[in-house]
Structure 1
C-alpha cells in the first residue's frame, strides 16, 4: 500500500494504532490480542497485521515494546505474537489521536467505526520512512531525523523553504548530493563505517541502511572467494552495537582493502528514493520538502480546530454557569408559576418568560435542552450554591477564553510553540545518526586485486586467461584491460577475457594502465 500524506500511514498501520488506542489502559497488551482486535477493521490475515506491527515497533517512535521484537540491523525476526507485548508510546498519545478532529468511516463489515486518517500533528511519514507497492506503482520514502524535521517545520512556519536530507536508524555514512529531494531519479550512496584497528585488522561498526550484518558478511565472503579482496578471517561480534572484525591476509594494505570493500561488497549500497503518497484519494509523486510543507500546514489546521473546539466548550460552560447563577440568585425555582407547572412544555414557557430580561447577555439563545439541565439539578446542590465560588470559576473560564482567542489570533506562533515543546519533550536521544559526506568515486579497476594470469598466442592471434600453455603476459584483475600491438602496425585495447581473438602476428601485449604517463610503447 501507499501511505496517506496527512498521517503518513498505510491502512494496516492506521488500524493497528487505532486498535491500540481502543485497548489502551496504560498497560502492555499481548501482540496477539492487538492483532485479533485489529482484524475487526483489517480484512486480511493475522500474519500481515503482525508483520506491520513489528515494523512499527522496531522504529521506536509510536509503540513501546516488551519482549523480543527482533533487530532490523542483524535481520533477526521477532518472537511469536503470543510472546511479545505492546502499548502506545507517550509520543503517540500526545501527537496521533484526537477523536474530536478525526473523520470516521464504517469498517469493512459495517459493525465498527474506524478513522479515515488520524489527526497526526507531526510529519510522521518523513520521520519513519515508508516502502510499499500498490497496483501499478511503488513508493520508497527515506526516514529523516526527528529533530531536523521539527526545526524544518518551524522554518516553514516562518516562511522559509526546508532542505531535508535523510537520516538512517542504522547510522553509517551517506552521500546525498544526488538526493533530488527524494523524488524519482534521485540516488543516495550509503556506506558502512569502517575503522582501521591496526595494520592487519578492520572493524565495521555501522552497516548501510537496507542491509543487515548477515547479508554484509555474506557479500564480503563472496568477494573474497572471487579474489576481489583478500582476507584471512571475518568475525561477527555484534551484540547491542554492530562489530564485524575483518582480519587481513599478510602483505595486504588496509587502505586498499577499505576501498575494495566499498567497490565490491555491500559496504556501499545505492538507494533510489521514489516518494509517492495518497493525496485527495489519488497517488501523487512529490518531493520530501513539499510533503513537509503540506504536513506543517495540516498540523497548524489541526491545532486551529482543537482551539476552536476548546473555545466552544468554554463558552458552553460559562453559558450554563451564568444560567444556573441567574436561576438560583433570582429564586426562579421558588416562583409559583414554576412550581405549579404541570409538564415540561409549561416549565419551558415559564422559564422563557422569567429569563427574558437576561437573554441579551448570553452568546446564544436559550434552548429547551438547557432548561432540562437546570430542572435536573438536585435541590441539595441549589441550596448549597456558592455565588462567590461560581464567580471565581467563571472568571477563570473567561481568562482561558481570552488565552484561546489570543492563540487563534496568533496561530502561527502557537504552532511554532507546539513544535518547540515537542522537541523539548521527545527530542532527547534522537540526534542524527548518519554522517553526511561527499564520497570520492572508487574506481573498481584500481582497487581490484590481481587475481588472474594473462597469456597470449602470438601466431594465432589470441589472448586470454585460459591459454595456459602459451606465453605469459602478466598478473591482472578481471577488471583490467589488455593493450595489443600487431606486426601490421595496428593496436587495440580489450577487456580481460577467457579467450579473445585480437589479430594474428602479435608483436607486443601488456596490461594496459589508463592515464599512465610513464610507459611508452
Structure 2
C-alpha cells in the first residue's frame, strides 16, 4: 500500500474569513461598483469605451453587433460575465438614463418598463460624446496598466474632455457603501468649472448660481430645497422629483390629467399599476380610467381620466402623494479619488475634475513637445542632406555596409545617429519632394510650436486658460437646453420653464391629536396651549405623518388630507384608521414621517425597540418585526437621556433608561423591555418628569361597559427605576373582584381625564401610595361608567 501523501494545513477560520471578506470588499469597491471621480466611469464602462475606440467604432462608422463588442471587452479587458458588460453597454446607450448617452445603439435597447433585446440582436458604436472621453489617449495623457492576464494594457482612467460624472451621474452599491449621483446640464456644469478656474475660493452658493440643481434626462420637475444645498455642500442630501402634469379636456364632458414627463427612472407601467392599486384600496378617488398613449412619434403621454365632479387639483395632489408621479432622489456623492472612496461635495467634484484636466493637458503638452522636438531634429538632418546631396550619395556609395555608411555620415556632416538612420532609410524618389525652403518653413513652424508648448508648460495660468477654452468649445458643440424645471421650497421657479405655483405652496400648520387619537389640522392655536386638550405637532401642509398601527406598520398620511378646522370648535372627526384604510389593526401612535429624531416602540409582549428617522419614501413601512400574537401598543420620541415605561395588565410598572436600548434598523425585532410572566403589556411611553401614572382596574370577566372598576393616580416620583427586562414593581393593588388593569397611561400633572366622547370627567385624588388600591369609579362619577 502507498503512503497517504495528503497534507492538511490548519488555519484560523476567523482570520481567513476576515481576509477573504476584505479582498472581496476591495474588489467590489474598486473594480466594479464605484466610479472614478475624474472620468466618472466604473471599470467596466471605461473598458467598453476604450475597447470600442480601439475597434474603430466611431460615430462615422457603421454599427457592429453588441455581442462582438461584449466578446472583445470580456476577452481582452474585463474578466467577468458577458451579462454585466452588456448591461453596462445598454445603460450607456439609453437616453432616459444618461443625460448625454455615450453609446449609439441600434435596435431594442429597452425602455423604463422593459429590458433590452439580447446582445446578438442589437448593434452599437460610440456616440460623439464618447470620443471626448477617449480624446488624446495616444498622447501619453494617462497611465496604462496591465490587463487581467498581463498580456495587454488598458488605461487606468480616460482623459475625459468633459465632466462626465456630474453630467451623467452614477449609481452603484458596493460593500458597506453606495453611490447615487444625479445627472446635470453640461452647459451649467462647464459654466461652474469656468467660474471655479477664475475663482478657486468660490463658495457652494456661488457655484449653485451656475448649477441651480439636477437636470434629469426625462425632464419633469425637481422640488429643490435646503436639503439639495446640503447635498451640494456635504455630498449627501435629497430632492424630490415630480411629473409634469397638465389638465386637459380628454373627451365630451370629460376632464383628464395628461402626464408628459415622469420622474427619473420611473416608467408609465409602474405609475399605472400604483394608480390601480390605490384605487382598489379606496385610497384614491376620482379616477375613471388610465390610458397610456405613449409612442415613438409623440413621446410620453399618459392620460388619467377623471370622474365628473372631482377637482383636478385635489386628485393631482393625491396622485403625487400615492404614486411614483412624485419620488425622492437621495444624493450620495461617493466616488474614487486617488484610489480611495470619498464622499464629495459639489466643489470637490469640480476640483477633482479640474486637477485631472490639468494633468492631462500637462502630459499632452509634454508628449507634443517631445514629438515636435524629434521631428525638428530629423528635419535639421534632412536640411543638411539636401544641401549636400551629392556628397551624401557619394558617402553612401563608397561605404561597404549600412553601419559604416551611418558612421561616416555622422562624422562627415556632424549628424546624430537618428538623423543618419533617417537619411539612410529615405527612398531616392522622396528626395524630389524636398526643397530647402519647404524644410525651413516646416522647421520654423515646429520651432514656433515648441516655444508655445514650453510657455504653456511653464505657466499654470496658460494651462487653465487652455482648459477653459476647450471646455467652452465642448459646451458650445454638445450642450443642450435644460430639461428639468426647478422649483424651490417657496414655490418659486428656479429654472426658466413656466409652472403653476399655487399647487406648490407649503404653509406652516399644527396637527392636533385628540385624547381618543383622532387627528385634525389648524393654522390657529389658542395663545395658551395648555387649554387645548390635544397633543400638538408643528409641521407644514406638504409634510407627511406616520400613523403607527398595532401590526407594526407605519402608514404615510399627508397633512393636507387631515380635516382642517378652527381650534376653537369641537370637531366631529373620522376615526384615524379611516385615513389609512385599515380595519384589521388600530392606530397606536403618530410621529412625523421625515423627522430625524429617535423613536421608541413597545409591544404587548414586553418587547422594546428604538429606531431613528426619517422613514423611507414609501406609502407603508414596517417599523418592527413582530412575533406571532404580539402587537404594538405605543410609540414615542425617545432621547438618549430619557426614560421609557411599560405598564402590564397585572398592575406592574417598569421604568428604565432609554440608553439601554440601542437603536436598530426598521426590519429588526427589538429586544426585551419588560419581563411579562403573566398577562400582557397595556401601555408603553415616555416617563415624564413631574408626571403621574393613571391606572384603572376591573374584572376580566366583566362585560364591556358594565364594570368601570377602580382608578388610581400616582406621581411617578414614587416609583423606583429598574433595569431593562425586569418585571417592574406593583403600581396598582387590586380590590376584591378585580384581576386586571384595563387602562393605563402616563400624563402631565395635573392629569385631565376624558370619556370616550372626549368630555372631561372627574378623576380620583392623587394617591401617594405607589402600590395602593384604586378608588371605585362609581364613588366620584355617581355610578356613571
For the aligned pair, the TM-score class normalised by the smaller chain equals: 0.7 to 0.9
**Contact 2:334/2:341, CA 8 A, preserved across alignment:** yes
Deviation, structure 1 residue 9? 0.8
> What does the per-residue CA deviation read over 1:73-108, in whole Å, with 9 as the maximum and x for residues that have no partner?
xx2222221121111122222442413323222221
**Contact 1:64/1:86, CA 8 A, preserved across alignment:** yes
Question: Whole-Å Cα distance in 2 between the matches of residues 233 and 336 of structure 1?
Answer: 96
**Contact 1:31/1:81, CA 8 A, preserved across alignment:** yes
**1:64 is matched with which residue?**
104
Q: Confirm or deny that 1:216 pairs with 2:299.
A: no
Question: Whole-Å Cα distance in 1 between the matches of residues 743 and 247 of structure 2?
Answer: 44
Q: Confirm or deny that 1:122 pairs with 2:152.
A: no
> What does the per-residue CA deviation read over 1:284-324, in whole Å, with 9 as the maximum and x for residues that have no partner?
11113311221022113212322222222222222211111
Q: Superposition pairs for residues 270-289 of structure 1, below 5 Å?
A: 270-289=328-347
**2:470 is matched with which residue?**
418
Deviation, structure 1 residue 250? 2.8
* Count of residue pairs the alignment pairs up: 462
Deviation, structure 1 residue 507? 4.2
Q: Confirm or deny that 1:442 pairs with 2:493.
A: no
**2:242 is matched with which residue?**
191
Deviation, structure 1 residue 251? 2.3
**Contact 1:156/1:296, CA 8 A, preserved across alignment:** no
**Contact 2:321/2:558, CA 8 A, preserved across alignment:** no
- TM-score, normalised via structure 1 length: 0.80
> What does the per-residue CA deviation read over 1:42-75, in whole Å, with 9 as the maximum and x for residues that have no partner?
1111111111110001135311121121223xx2
Q: Confirm or deny that 1:290 pairs with 2:339.
A: no
- TM-score, normalised via structure 2 length: 0.55
**Contact 1:31/1:82, CA 8 A, preserved across alignment:** yes
Change (3 A) 1:334 1:3: closer
Q: Which blocks of at least 5 consecutive residues in structure 1 are unaligned?
A: 357-365, 451-462, 467-474, 489-499, 510-521
**Contact 1:32/1:82, CA 8 A, preserved across alignment:** yes
SS in structure 1 opposite 2:224?
strand
**Contact 1:256/1:447, CA 8 A, preserved across alignment:** no
SS in structure 2 opposite 1:157?
helix
**Contact 1:143/1:168, CA 8 A, preserved across alignment:** yes
SS in structure 2 opposite 1:197?
strand
**Contact 1:300/1:412, CA 8 A, preserved across alignment:** yes
Q: Superposition pairs for residues 69-108 of structure 1, below 5 Å?
A: 69-72=109-112, 75-97=113-135, 98-100=137-139, 101-108=141-148
Question: Whole-Å Cα distance in 2 between the matches of residues 55 and 23 of structure 1?
Answer: 20
Q: Confirm or deny that 1:398 pairs with 2:411.
A: no
Q: Which blocks of at least 5 consecutive residues in structure 2 are unaligned?
A: 1-32, 490-505, 507-540, 544-556, 564-573, 589-707, 711-741, 745-752, 760-785
Deviation, structure 1 residue 395? 3.1
> What does the per-residue CA deviation read over 1:198-245, in whole Å, with 9 as the maximum and x for residues that have no partner?
573111211111321111122222222222221111111122422111
**1:226 is matched with which residue?**
281
Question: Whole-Å Cα distance in 1 between the matches of residues 110 and 235 of structure 2?
Answer: 31
Deviation, structure 1 residue 337? 5.9
Q: Superposition pairs for residues 32-51 of structure 1, below 5 Å?
A: 32-40=67-75, 41-51=77-87
Question: Whole-Å Cα distance in 2 between the matches of residues 507 and 94 of structure 1?
Answer: 72
**Contact 1:121/1:302, CA 8 A, preserved across alignment:** no
**Contact 1:233/1:246, CA 8 A, preserved across alignment:** yes
**1:512 is matched with which residue?**
none
SS in structure 2 opposite 1:117?
coil
Deviation, structure 1 residue 418? 0.4
**1:142 is matched with which residue?**
182
SS in structure 2 opposite 1:269?
strand
**Contact 2:36/2:337, CA 8 A, preserved across alignment:** yes
Change (3 A) 1:87 1:333: farther
Output the aligned Cα RMSD.
3.1
**Contact 1:173/1:192, CA 8 A, preserved across alignment:** yes
Change (3 A) 1:296 1:384: closer
**Contact 2:133/2:158, CA 8 A, preserved across alignment:** no
**Contact 1:332/1:354, CA 8 A, preserved across alignment:** no
> What does the per-residue CA deviation read over 1:318-360, in whole Å, with 9 as the maximum and x for residues that have no partner?
221111111231347448666434445544443333334xxxx
Change (3 A) 1:464 1:192: closer
Q: Which of 234, 259, 262 is residue 207 of structure 1 equivalent to?
A: 262
Larger RCO: 1 or 2 (CA < 8 Å, sep 6+): 1
When Rg is computed on C-alpha atoms for both structures, the one with the higher figure is 2
